[in-house]
Amino acid sequence: MTNLSGKLALVTGGARGQGEAEARLFAARGAAVIIADVLVDEGRALAQTLEQDGFEARFAYLDVTDPQSWEGVVALAKEWKNRLDILVNNAGIINRSTVADTGLAAWERVLKVNLTGAFLGIQSATALMADSGGGSIVNISSNSGYSGHYDPAYTASKWGLRGLTRSAAMELVSKNIRVNAVCPGLVVTGLNASSPHLKPMIDLTPMKRSGKPEEIAELVLFLASDASGFITGEDFVIDGGFTAGAAYRRVAADTGIYRD
């Protein structure tokens, strides 16, 4: 079983959804965890629950778009454990509108949270992580980072994260810091729970279901841990077969080549 004992992990957007699942799993595997989010009540409540269960957890207010906010959370890591081993850049937002309908402010906001937020995270965490002997950074992209999704700002941010992951991996390898990306498909969370696209997405997904936050967390755990020690600069799709060929599979099913 993957063991994170002695490590300090920082999960952005850790108050709910996939970030919450990652924080819970990391804590259960022995890491001290900083849950960093703009959602203060949810983040504090999660940290308290984990502590009551006997794990080590702290909540920190973090707006990933704000460099000063990052300074604060890295200072907490230094003061608490004097180390940082794992950073999961998980915070993200969507903006379901087309190129024609997306205003400049909305475009910039999505890029700022999803892409600039991760850039600031990598920049802010590097020194403490290097002083800790190295570490692992996992950027949460999306399978929208592989296709032309109907949310262009989100799509551009998630393609961008894959590029940032590779650049950072090349630069930070000399500091023993690995950088990888996870690209989930549909996971029903607060991000999309009321979206009309859930059913059509599930119907098209070869596995005919959405992913569970806990399933995504298992892949993030692997990349965060020493078990993936020879992997850097890679991105991993986890989407029930959607990217692998959902469109051709639908054609094959519609034409009778496959029988569902």
- Give the residue with the Cβ less far from ligand NAD, 4 or 38: 38
* Cβ atoms < 10 Å from Cβ of 105: 7
Q: Contact 138/224 with Cβ under 8 angstroms?
A: yes
* Cα–chain center distance at 220: 8
- Give the residue with the Cβ less far from ligand NAD, 18 or 180: 18
190 belongs to the binding site for ligand NAD (CB under 6 A) = yes
Q: Contact 74/124 with Cβ under 8 angstroms?
A: yes
Q: Would you call 8 helix, strand, or coil by DSSP?
A: strand
Q: How far apart are CA 212 and CA 149, in angstroms?
A: 21
- From 61, 150, 154, 258, active-site residue: 154
Q: How far apart are CA 167 and CA 170, in angstroms?
A: 5
- Give the residue with the Cβ less far from ligand NAD, 108 or 253: 108
177 belongs to the binding site for ligand NAD (CB under 6 A) = no
37 belongs to the binding site for ligand NAD (CB under 6 A) = yes
**What part of residues 50-89 is at the interface with ligand NAD (CB under 6 A)?**
62-65
Q: Would you call 55 helix, strand, or coil by DSSP?
A: coil
- Give the residue with the Cβ less far from ligand NAD, 108 or 226: 108
Q: For residue 116, which of 180, 63, 59, 170 has the smallest C-alpha distance? A: 63
Give me the least distance between CB of 49 and ligand NAD, in Å please: 15
61 among known catalytic residues: no
Binding site for ligand NAD (CB under 6 A): 12-13, 15-19, 37-39, 62-65, 90-93, 113, 140, 142, 184, 186-187, 189-192
What are the residue numbers of the active site? Answer: 154
